Amino acid sequence: MAALAAGAVTAGLAHPGSSSASTCQSLPGTTSFADGRYDAVDANGVPDPTGQAPDITSVDVAVSASCQLTIGATVERHSRPPYSLSDGETIGFLLDVDSNRATGAPPTGADRQIMTYGNADAPGISRLGTWTGGGFSYVELPAPLPWGRQTVSFAALGISAPTTVRITAVAVFVVGGTSWFERAPGDDSAFAVRIAFAGGYSPPSPWPEVPQAHRVACTVPDLRRTSAWRARRRLRTAGCRARFVFVRDRRAPRGTVIGTSPRAGRTTWATVTVTISAGAGRGKAVV
């Protein structure tokens, strides 16, 4: 497995799309890993018997000279054109940026999470999640390229010291009413990318805090038993900021909302916590 080495870092870094120029410098490089074919499983954990389900076959990563990380996947046997996932489909990249599983979301130890939600008629919608100890808090990212490919700054990823970023890809693909779950690598290992700095580096906060006076109250919609992606859209329509927590639950279908805090009907200025069922298995899918 290849590794990337980043070069000297001299100053701060802006989030992609910011008008301020970045003076962060790193050594450009790319690397990738292949994932097994025909290894998607259905909601019961049964492997694809026909080899016809969409399948992540590789994941690639690039580090730019301006200290940004670009990550994407290659998907085979998908009926949609590559500019968009279908409604209800999700691709995610779980990033353990400090190589310490104890500090991030189990089971991978992910400290950051890039999730792209499909849209039948346009590019998907991407968000960057930051692990807060009880769940991920999300911010919107620019529209992704095909199959959830996204570029995020080192600062947004919380990378400010030499580290090895461990990466796991996850996905949900819907075909003929059947949901197929994919994990890459599929053996609970992770793809490692080494990032090193020469000299000190203290990046600015990539997500400025919104002043209380500028926040908007929202009324929490009733999301019980809706899918995670529909919940996200309804919360966005209601003007709610949200974070998603995944728990094992035998009673609710995987990927559906169990509850919210505050509960439905309440008006709040705070971030809404949405609890999602991860099913009763070993957590093969994260949506």
- Give dist(CA 144, CA 128) in Å, integer: 12
Q: Which CATH class is domain 29-195?
A: mainly beta
Run of H or E including 93: strand 90-96
- pTM of the complete model: 0.63
Q: Which stretches of 149-253 are DSSP H helices?
A: 154-157, 228-238
Say which CATH architecture domain 212-277 belongs to.
Answer: 2-Layer Sandwich (3.30)
247 contacts 259 by C-beta, under 8 angstroms: no
Residues 90-100 have pLDDT tens digits of 889 999 998 88
Closest CA to 195 of 186, 203, 204: 203
User: What are the domain boundaries of the chain?
Assistant: 29-195, 212-277
CB atoms within 10 A of CB 47: 12
pLDDT computed for residue 31 by the predictor: 86
| Beta-strand relationship, 272-277 and 242-247 | parallel
For 115, phi and psi rounded to 5 degrees?
-120, 135
Residues 144-193 have pLDDT tens digits of 787 778 999 888 898 877 788 999 998 888 877 788 888 888 766 778 88
Instruction: Please report the beta strands in 124-199, taking only residues with DSSP state E, as ranges in sequence order.
Output: 125-131, 136-140, 150-153, 163-175, 178-184, 191-195
DSSP letter for 147, please: G
CB atoms within 10 A of CB 215: 12
Average pLDDT for the chain: 74
Q: State the virtual CA torsion across 247, 249, 252, 256 in degrees, nearest 10.
A: 10
Residues 198-226 have pLDDT tens digits of 444 444 444 444 444 445 678 999 998 88
* pLDDT of 271 over the 60 cut: yes
